[in-house]
Structure 1
Amino acid sequence: MLDASQNATHPSNAPADHPTVKPEKVGILLANLGTPDHYSYWPMRRYLSEFLSDQRVIDYPAWKWQPLLQLIILTKRPFASGAAYKSIWNHEKNESPLMTITRDQTEKMAEAMQALYGDQVMVDFCMRYGNPSTHSKVEAMIAAGCRKILFVPLYPHYAGATSATANDAFFQALMKQTWQPAARTIEPYFDRPEYIDALARSVEEAYAKLDKKPDILVCSYHGMPKRYLMQGDPYHCQCQKTTRLLKERLGWADTDITTTFQSVFGPEEWLRPYTVEHVAELARQGKKNIAVIAPAFSADCIETLEEINEEICESFEHAGGDVFTYIPCLNDQATHIDALSQVIRDNLKGWLD
């Protein structure tokens, strides 16, 4: 994690009144979506207002969207979302599972990077929405002496509403700095062999614990309006490729695995098939034993722990399904940290070799 303990010194040959300068380091800043500070009404409202006001997420004109959001949606939605968060909340640490898992990932990544690069690097994390903010972490890294920062959105697949808006927040934070560091962002890693292998191993380990192999594996990705695909967003294609590569790595037939999309919001058509509807259709077709995995999420969160494991599971069972197995996200598993470490190492080339 971030370590700003090293003493600042005066540059050599500088006058006595020159500002002190920290020893130079490379910052590695992991970024995830975000989380409310609490599941009660006002923290939920602040979080949802920030999230749903992002035009990368909801691209309707502000004059049309904001009155609807502030006067109608945010009077009710914080209660429903708060109840969902409460059902999965880490009460011991008083934080959401996403916060707990992202911190654990960061600590393990810091250990991995320390083993490779020693004191030349520091690793920390931020959230696109809520706390800790991207701006606060960029500011802290610069203050600690980071003259280069690698920004790592924890999204395997690129989408305007995920990777792009995280990068937006990063570059906006840099705009406020007097002395900007050199900056890089990573490419999406949805088809990297290490990532596919980590996914495959998680499936193999989950299946090995079951009495009977599921009839099908449902790869449920977070959805987006179909219009975004038509406008050129590559997310849909990248999700399809991940499923295909996972199928090939597992040595399965096409009928053993399928791609769906969840978390539909608003009146327009989103990417199909919708997970909540498709699992019910599978049950009606006689596939009574299914497993679900969420490859687009690097950490378990409200969309996996509550939506998949509760809402989508209920849809399957109500349609006649018998056995529903949710395979957790890669979280802080060693295979995931190793895969991300390789992505980071590749992107540090030329800075640290």
Structure 2
Amino acid sequence: MSNPIGILLVNLGTPQAPTKQALRPYLREFLSDKRVIDYPRWLWYPILYGIILNVRPKKSAAAYAAIWTDKGSPLFVYSQNLAQKLQAQLDSTWQQPVKVVLAMRYGQPSIRMGLEELRDADVRRVLLLPMYPQYSVTTVGTIFDEVFDVLKSWEWLPEIRMVHEYYRHPLYGQAVADSIRAHWAEHGEPGEDGKLIYSMHGVPARYTRKGDPYEQQCKETTECLSAELGIG
């Protein structure tokens, strides 16, 4: 039997529980990432450790508690469901064995844990698929960093193919457009004078000035979706 192909799906991450105690280490890991906060450490760490980590965990815990489900964090639950469905789809359509593993950039299951699972399955080739349609150094870039930071200390080094972005893939545009159409079918279309507002997570303008393509790719995403929906 041939070695399985590994697919490492990576999402942002989530705390283990909607509590102040769980939020503090999660936020510490997230906000200590130099790709996310690029200020000098001598300037940023006093703010992070002196103010943010003493104030924000309690506030964030309340926000997480409002959306937490019986199965856990919505982000983890939905990501795990997606990974399981992808595994089932590939098992039924591919002749070569495939191993789909979910990891999180921050929190658990960590990228290290995901790579360990692929290594233990004797995977020789890995498709690294961040779950972000557009590329930003603050999201996809830091995932790539972490993967190779882990691998550089190991003897096991698989062949890796990295997906930078997929916002222009026709199937992505169709899927998002279909979800909008489904909403319209249930709640009604906005009408001739109505507006469809695209809202996406932002990054500081300085990242864009330094070459991060995220803002431009978001603009292109809205253009592609508008074309798919047939609106100007």
Q: Summarize deviations over 1:163-219 as a string: whole Å, max 9, x none.
A: 000111111121122121111111301111111111111111110111452621111
Per-residue deviation, 1:89 = 0.4
* Structure 1 Cα separation of the partners of residues 100 and 148 of structure 2: 18
* Structure 1 Cα separation of the partners of residues 26 and 20 of structure 2: 10
**For 2:98, which of 106, 113, 121 is the aligned residue?**
121
> Sequence identity, in percent?
40
**For 2:142, which of 145, 165, 168 is the aligned residue?**
165
Pick 1 or 2: higher relative contact order, CA cutoff 8 A, min separation 6: 2
Aligned residue number for residue 136 of structure 1 = 113
**For 2:12, which of 26, 33, 47 is the aligned residue?**
33
Contact 1:29–1:149 (8 Å) recurs in 2: yes
Q: Summarize deviations over 1:225-251 as a string: whole Å, max 9, x none.
A: 011111100000000001011111111
Aligned residue number for residue 250 of structure 1 = 229
2:124 aligns to what SS in structure 1?
strand
* Structure 1 Cα separation of the partners of residues 95 and 80 of structure 2: 20
Where do residues 268-307 of structure 1 align in structure 2 (5 Å cutoff)? Answer: none
Aligned residue number for residue 48 of structure 2 = 69
Whether 1:57 and 2:36 are equivalent positions in the alignment is yes
Aligned residue number for residue 83 of structure 2 = 106
Structure 2 CA distance for partners of 1:35 and 1:88, relative to 1, 3 Å: same
* Structure 1 Cα separation of the partners of residues 31 and 58 of structure 2: 16
Aligned residue number for residue 224 of structure 1 = 203
State which drifts further: 174-183 or 216-225.
Answer: 174-183
* Structure 2 Cα separation of the partners of residues 250 and 216 of structure 1: 13
Contact 1:31–1:125 (8 Å) recurs in 2: yes
* Structure 2 Cα separation of the partners of residues 48 and 187 of structure 1: 25
Contact 2:176–2:225 (8 Å) recurs in 1: yes
Structure 1 unmatched ranges of 5 or more: 1-21, 254-353
Normalization by structure 1: what TM-score? 0.63
1:124 aligns to what SS in structure 2?
strand
Aligned length: 230
Q: Summarize deviations over 1:79-120 as a string: whole Å, max 9, x none.
A: 111100000001x12x21000000000000001111222452
Whether 1:156 and 2:120 are equivalent positions in the alignment is no
Aligned residue number for residue 162 of structure 2 = 185
* Structure 1 Cα separation of the partners of residues 93 and 147 of structure 2: 25
Structure 2 CA distance for partners of 1:26 and 1:211, relative to 1, 3 Å: closer
* Structure 1 Cα separation of the partners of residues 79 and 130 of structure 2: 12
1:157 aligns to what SS in structure 2?
coil
**For 1:213, which of 190, 193, 197 is the aligned residue?**
190
Greater share of residues in helix: 2
State which drifts further: 241-250 or 209-218.
Answer: 209-218
Per-residue deviation, 1:139 = 1.2
* Structure 1 Cα separation of the partners of residues 153 and 111 of structure 2: 12
RMSD (Å) for aligned C-alpha atoms = 1.4
* Structure 2 Cα separation of the partners of residues 134 and 86 of structure 1: 25
Aligned residue number for residue 338 of structure 1 = none
Per-residue deviation, 1:71 = 1.3
State which drifts further: 171-180 or 113-122.
Answer: 113-122
Per-residue deviation, 1:23 = 5.8
Q: Summarize deviations over 1:4-61 as a string: whole Å, max 9, x none.
A: xxxxxxxxxxxxxxxxxx9622111100000000111121000000000001100001
Structure 2 unmatched ranges of 5 or more: none
* Structure 1 Cα separation of the partners of residues 189 and 216 of structure 2: 31
Aligned residue number for residue 177 of structure 2 = 200
